[in-house]
Structure 1
Amino acid sequence: MIYHDYSLFTNGTTFADAYSNFAQLPQLNVLEKIWGAYYYYMGNDVFATGLLFFSVHEFMYFFRCLPWAIIDRIPYFNKYKIQETKLPSNQEQWECLKSVLTSHFLVEAFPCWFFHPVCKKLGISFEVPFPSWTTICFHLAVFFVLEDAWHYWFHRGLHYGVFYKYIHKQHHRYAAPFGLTAEYAHPIEVMLLGFGTVGIPIVWCMLTGSLHLFTVCLWITLRLFQAVDSHSGYEFPWSLHHFLPFWAGADHHDEHHHYFIGSYSSSFRWWDAVLNTEAGPAGKAKREQKMKLRAEMAQKKQI
């Protein structure tokens, strides 16, 4: 049950009828009423969750990709392009779109449609009301930090030997990434790195017993926005990392595509900074500076 008490509800056949039932519950906010009405109207929780997850993923991904595809065709924005001479052609955009859609429908759709039984098994709630916004924001922050760690180590691992040659090389087809390339990858990579997005909330719920499906939807939305933006290929004066220095952003990930190694993190810069794996000339200069300082300190100790 999406709500614990249906005694005041009336029968209806439309979504509007379902919403009117939840509209009479003053303790619920608008989002909770829409969420409750959706599940009540669908009448099949497995189908409702599958459709919700797949629709959220498709809409949010392409909704966020569309502005970058438009910007790529407006000369004014070329000055903000990180690799300014490498704009994706219409053919490249089209080929990437076909590959991404194939992956979405043949690889990612299946787990979406069977996610609700997992929720029931693990105790991921889908009922209304939602948790407090404090709890939701805490969970989102935890997921961002944990996913970034997962992404760093497994992404770095995909750059070794056969893993790169047979799996990760596909994602590096475009040395100058653009929005659509965020999920342009080998199916094994999609599942492996995708576990950081979907698997971490599942493991979190297994350990804590506290998670709501609405939080998972928000998390997937934010993660998609981050992934697409980091592949956009544009650096603006208002880009988020100018205000949050530890945020990775497009300039960080563009270096990874440009030089093929280094800058392995997804959302934050700290793993690459601490482990000296920042890509590009700036990263090389930092490593050389650190080596120079260590050499000077060692020389002082000998004296």
Structure 2
Amino acid sequence: MSGTLSTVFQNSTLHHSAVGSGFIETFNNLKAVKDLNVLEKLWASYYIWIGNDIFATGLLFFTLHEFMYFGRCLPWYIIDRVPFFRRWKIQDTKLPSDKEQWECLKSVLTSHFLVEAFPIWFFHPLCEHIGISYSVPFPNWFDIFLQISVFFFFEDAWHYWFHRGLHHGVFYKYIHKQHHRYAAPFGLAAEYAHPIEVMLLGFGTVGIPIIWCLLTKNLHLFTICIWITLRLFQAVDAHSGYEFPISLHHFLPFWAGAEHHDEHHHHFIGNYASSFRFWDFVLDTEAGLTAKQSREKKMKSSAEKKAKKQI
């Protein structure tokens, strides 16, 4: 699709009454389109109102990222300041100070504006080139759920292997060490990382949907918006430092969550996956005292079996 999303309506009287109007007036004009739900009308109104799809997509994605990331960090900042919640703090003696939060915030904002902003503002031409749709109506919810599930699975694999690789030698010393500045993580530290790490691990979030579209020719920007929101929430929550009785992994045992990732920051090794636990379980890279005792037990059992065979 070229031009603006208003080309969807370019042969209709509705189009000519919508373009050039304010956002509210544009939305009211689109109420006449009976085949679209409210969310789809808001989406179409936004693109028509902006009138420039490259700018509209860039603004949408940058605003979405900032609003969702900091909006999800804020509750954890408040929780860190309320003594009542201390009972659920995983490393209960290590609370981030205001100075640490402020230093982290400055670094994250610098990364957002100097590292992430540029590719975000040029994402729309890529969408048009590979066929990511941004028109209305949206895909059905089953397709959205299926695609996001696929994205979570493959992002987790990408994150596991490249995160594990970043813990080796010079990669850790010059790149990943920055993220491990905080042995007891907090929500805002989710994207506190070296620019190379931001781009490398971030490709799992953005690149996998791109590869999916190249293979299937079936993807919508709305789906990517939901995916990015969920991925941001997952990353921030994993760094929250809190383990609640209602934490998701109590209901989905394969989900990682804060308890899983906090062990990684505490011990600096193991628990490399982002969303799920199975990579670390299968490849024996789980972190923490329990995992260490389990490995030692397996090693002892294996040694005893070898000794019996030699007798």
Q: What is the 5 A alignment of 1:82-93?
A: 82-93=90-101
1:42 equivalenced with 2:76 (yes/no): no
Correspondence for 1:2: 5
Q: What is the 5 A alignment of 1:1-303?
A: 1-2=4-5, 4-6=8-10, 7-9=12-14, 10-11=17-18, 12-295=20-303
Give 1:8 shift: 3.6
Give 1:47 shift: 0.1
- Whole-Å separation in 2 of the counterparts to 1:22 and 1:294: 69
Partner deviation per Cα, 1:151-204 (whole Å, 9 max, x = no partner): 000000000000000000000000000000000000000000000000110111
Q: Match of 1:53, as an amino acid?
A: F
Q: Match of 1:39, as an amino acid?
A: Y
Over 3 Å counting, the alpha-carbon distance change for 1:20 and 1:288 in structure 2 is same
Give 1:300 shift: 7.4
| TM-score for both structures, normalised by structure 1 | 0.97
- Whole-Å separation in 1 of the counterparts to 2:251 and 2:32: 43
- Whole-Å separation in 2 of the counterparts to 1:76 and 1:128: 46
User: Which deviates the most, 112-121 or 289-298?
Assistant: 289-298
Aligned-residue Cα RMSD (Å) equals 1.5
SS of 1:59's partner is helix
Consecutive unaligned residues of structure 2, counting only runs of 5 or more, are none
Over 3 Å counting, the alpha-carbon distance change for 1:300 and 1:13 in structure 2 is same
Give 1:296 shift: 5.8
SS of 2:5's partner is coil
Q: Match of 2:203, as an amino acid?
A: F
Partner deviation per Cα, 1:37-79 (whole Å, 9 max, x = no partner): 0001000000000000000000000000000000000001111
**Among the aligned pairs, what percent are the same residue?**
71
SS of 1:66's partner is helix
Give 1:25 shift: 1.3
Q: Match of 1:192, as an amino acid?
A: L
Q: Match of 2:142, as an amino acid?
A: T
| TM-score for both structures, normalised by structure 2 | 0.94
Alignment coverage as a number of residue pairs: 303
